[in-house]
Structure 1
């Protein structure tokens, strides 16, 4: 049976743990707000980039039909998957569920495959699944650090794409799923996705004044595609961070609930034990008093 002192220590420890959980909840909620703001701020910029690509193809009188701008099926093509994971703890099955999704998705693609990962923990998980992990990038710890990560990935991907070492690039990350939680998603990065090109084809320039391409056509198109890739990678990383912190927030909420239940249980035991000790002392006092009354010498 627990003593009063041991129960007091447990209550103190649970209270300290609750303070830590509350701090982590606050940090997770704050991080969610920052990364969500970053994702939302990309909306207007993404629209500007897509309108730029639309203007380029319109000015060059290029048809955006799928059969004209996408490569034919090639079973020998190589695939590079860029996977955004987490290196932080208390995120539940964040890395495990994403790793399983990546493994199952890549099984549907023929040809050689290699994996670039953001996060050391998911690297080991993917290697355990038998996937070929060739590059490791550090997980950004702030919104500003995402830009550095994206630039690093862009340099590597564009180098390989221009030399045709890789034929196709895919993004894998966890995406927030309102109102809570997340889901694993895949996006084709390069060459441009067929569905995206088809949607672009039906868009119209917002004004009557059609723009003109200034400078070299090839350099202009490369600049537009580079910005599109930047936005796509930045968005994937930011959404992954939102999902990670949402998972941590949910875990902390569950932990706080369990701690509250533990505190209630320990508090009940402590007060019951304390009352029992008081009752024993009172019984001893009363028994002693009665014994003194019955003693003829007193």
Structure 2
């Protein structure tokens, strides 16, 4: 049976843990805001770039993209998957859900598969399900560090496509829901094929005044494509970080609730045991008094 000192020790430990959870909860809540703002800004920028590509392909429908990276007839494409996980724990099923989603998606694709990971925690999850991780990148801790990571990914990805090491690059990440939680999603980043081109031609210009291409058309296309790839990866990373902190916030809220219930239970035990000891002392005093009286 626990003593008063033992229960008091548990109470102090639970209070300290609750303080840590509150701090982590506040940090997660503050980070969500900056990543959600980045996602909103990138969504608008991404839409602007998409409109620019729409105008380009509308004016120059015969533009031929470089298809040398596409697999030849009868050959299975070589797939590269870039997956955004977390560097820290206390995020619930954040990594498990995404790793399972990626595994199911890649299982349906033929050919060789290689995985690049952003986030150390995700790397261990993928190793557990027998995926070989050929490249790993540290996860940015602030919005300002995302650009450096995206530049590394683009340089490595474009080199692989150009030299024929891989045919397609897919990006996997968790995307925040409009309400609570997140959903795993995938996007084919490279190559930029005919289907990618046709997707822009389905858009509509928001006004009746259509713009014209100014300057060198080829340089304009290269600039638009570069910004499209950069914005796509930046948005994926920001959405992943927003989802991670939302998941951590949910976990901390759940932990705070459990600790509060534990504290209530310990306080109840403490007061019950203390009252029992007081009652025993009173009974001893009364018994001694009765004995002396006789």
- TM-score normalised to structure 2 length: 0.90
Contact 2:161–2:191 at 8 Å: present in 1 too? no
Flag structure 2 segments of 5+ consecutive residues without an equivalent. Answer: none
- Partner in structure 1 of residue 47 of structure 2: 47
Partners of 1:195 and 1:293 lie apart in 2 by 102
Aligned residues: 289
Larger Rg computed on CA atoms? 1
Partners of 1:2 and 1:193 lie apart in 2 by 69
- Partner in structure 1 of residue 166 of structure 2: 166
State yes or no: 1:265 paired with 2:277: no
Q: CA deviation at 1:141?
A: 0.9
Give the match's secondary structure for 1:38: helix
Q: CA deviation at 1:151?
A: 0.9
* Range with greater deviation from structure 2 (18-27 or 276-285): 276-285
Flag structure 1 segments of 5+ consecutive residues without an equivalent. Answer: none
- Which runs of structure 2 are paired with 1:62-211 in the superposition (5 Å)? 62=62, 74=73, 75-192=75-192, 197-205=197-205, 206-211=207-212
Q: From the superposition, tell whether residues 18 and 275 of structure 1 become closer, same or farther in structure 2 (CA, over 3 Å).
A: same
Q: From the superposition, tell whether residues 22 and 195 of structure 1 become closer, same or farther in structure 2 (CA, over 3 Å).
A: farther
Q: CA deviation at 1:231?
A: 0.9
Give the match's secondary structure for 1:135: strand
Contact 2:78–2:112 at 8 Å: present in 1 too? yes
Deviations 1:111-161 (A, max 9, x none): 222111112232232233333321111111111111111111011112222
Contact 1:59–1:213 at 8 Å: present in 2 too? no
Partners of 2:193 and 2:103 lie apart in 1 by 21
Deviations 1:262-297 (A, max 9, x none): 111111111111111111122222222333333xxx
Structural RMSD (CA)? 2.3
Give the match's secondary structure for 1:227: helix
Q: CA deviation at 1:171?
A: 0.5
Q: CA deviation at 1:108?
A: 1.4
Deviations 1:46-78 (A, max 9, x none): 1211111112222324389xxx9x968854222
Q: CA deviation at 1:212?
A: 1.6
Contact 1:56–1:213 at 8 Å: present in 2 too? no
- Partner in structure 2 of residue 5 of structure 1: 5
* Range with greater deviation from structure 2 (282-291 or 263-272): 282-291
Give the match's secondary structure for 2:169: strand
- Partner in structure 2 of residue 274 of structure 1: 274
Deviations 1:59-102 (A, max 9, x none): 324389xxx9x968854222211111112111122222212221
- TM-score normalised to structure 1 length: 0.89
Deviations 1:28-60 (A, max 9, x none): 111111111110111221121111111222232
- Which runs of structure 2 are paired with 1:228-267 in the superposition (5 Å)? 228-267=228-267
Contact 2:71–2:77 at 8 Å: present in 1 too? no
Q: CA deviation at 1:252?
A: 1.1
- Partner in structure 2 of residue 218 of structure 1: 218
Q: CA deviation at 1:194?
A: 6.4
Partners of 1:31 and 1:195 lie apart in 2 by 36
Deviations 1:168-197 (A, max 9, x none): 111111112242222211111112376654
Partners of 2:130 and 2:248 lie apart in 1 by 28
Q: CA deviation at 1:230?
A: 0.8
